[in-house]
Amino acid sequence: MSRPGLVELEAVLAIARKGSFRAAAVDLGLSTTALSNAIAKLERDLGVRLFNRTTRSVSLTDAGRTFVVQVGPALQDITAAIEGARSHQATPSGTLRINAYAAAAREVFAPLLLAFLGRFPDVHVDLVTEGRLVDIVADGFDIGIRGHDLVPTDMIAVPLGLPRRNVVVASPAYLRAHGEPKVPPDLRNHACIRVRLPDGSLYRWRFEKDGQPLSMEVAGPLTLDEVSLVQRAVLADVGIGYVIESDVREDIAAGRLIRVLEDWTPPLSPLCLYYPSRKNPSAAFKALVGMARELGGTVPTT
């Protein structure tokens, strides 16, 4: 009887965590076929089924639940031992898995991640972007990137020091045709580009002036579920958009877009790179955290 390897054990835990072969395959960087074959081989070797499968769902069998409970802590110990060995590397290498929401990823992509890869070419960065706030430990990520106010209190946070704010923008042609809103309620008389959040709700535009917050629903001819398309719609004179400043900074500087309601959009809290405390971080992990500190320095998450 052959003994299962780490790949098969990680596959079982990933499927149990994600509840789906397809999601687990993406998580592990494997094809769904390869993952299914690995599980089928493991079940043949063990002589028991670990998962109940239908065309619509996947669930653990009784044997599978017992297996996960026993294997999970052992695999964590093995992973910690591997990380401990890697921490002695002279040159950072290996893979770092990072989770971030899309706007945060765009903001840190060039100043942090691309700069990091340029300095340490032997490291592979696996960046996953999603709108929901995930448990980076349970989902197998090394690092998360979110706004400071969204960092869990039990994590170590490294503020990245990048200036951030939302901006309300329109094209010169749109403003010539429709005028410029002076206060947020004026937006009710304008075509605004709406954004649908991952949970299906519509994003409310948020403003603040003299310490008084204001949020409002807007209306317009276009609703998008991909924020990066807002910029293209605004450039096409479709209407007014509400975006993160870093996405349109070049367009503003070039005069292709014009900021409005500027005094209603104060700075946002900084982005943070965050991670759980660990005894033996790899050389790659330490190198990325070091570069993050170069961008901003650390502050407590409380």
CATH number attached to the domain at 6-86:
1.10.10.10
Q: In the prediction, which pLDDT does 85 show?
A: 66
Give the pTM. 0.62
pLDDT tens by residue, 10-44: 888 888 888 888 888 887 878 888 888 888 888 88
Of the candidates 261, 264, 286, 263, which has an alpha carbon nearest to the alpha carbon of residue 273? 286
- Measured between alpha carbons, how far is 149 from 12 in angstroms, rounded to an integer? 34
- Measured between alpha carbons, how far is 9 from 23 in angstroms, rounded to an integer? 16
Q: In the prediction, which pLDDT does 217 show?
A: 93
Q: Which residue intervals of the chain bear CATH 1.10.10.10?
A: 6-86
Q: Which CATH number fits domain 94-163+269-295: 3.30.1490.20, 3.30.70.2200, 3.30.930.10, 3.40.190.10?
A: 3.40.190.10
% of the chain at pLDDT higher than 90? 43
- Measured between alpha carbons, how far is 171 from 234 in angstroms, rounded to an integer? 6
pLDDT tens by residue, 201-260: 899 999 999 888 999 999 999 999 888 899 999 999 999 999 999 889 999 999 999 999
Q: Is the pLDDT of residue 83 over 80?
A: no
CB 51 within 8 A of CB 59: yes
CATH number attached to the domain at 166-264:
3.40.190.290
CB 235 within 8 A of CB 251: yes
Confidence at 298, pLDDT banded by 50, 70, 90: very low
Q: In the prediction, which pLDDT does 86 show?
A: 60
Q: Which residue intervals of the chain bear CATH 3.40.190.10?
A: 94-163+269-295
Residue 61 Cα distances to 53, 138, 189, 223, 298, angstroms: 10, 21, 58, 43, 45
Q: Is the pLDDT of residue 77 over 50?
A: yes
Q: Which residue intervals of the chain bear CATH 3.40.190.290?
A: 166-264
Average pLDDT over residues 174-191: 96
Of the candidates 84, 75, 72, 80, which has an alpha carbon nearest to the alpha carbon of residue 5? 75
Residue 89 Cα distances to 40, 94, 122, 283, 289, angstroms: 36, 10, 12, 6, 16
pLDDT tens by residue, 272-286: 999 998 777 888 999
Q: In the prediction, which pLDDT does 299 show?
A: 42
CB 43 within 8 A of CB 52: no
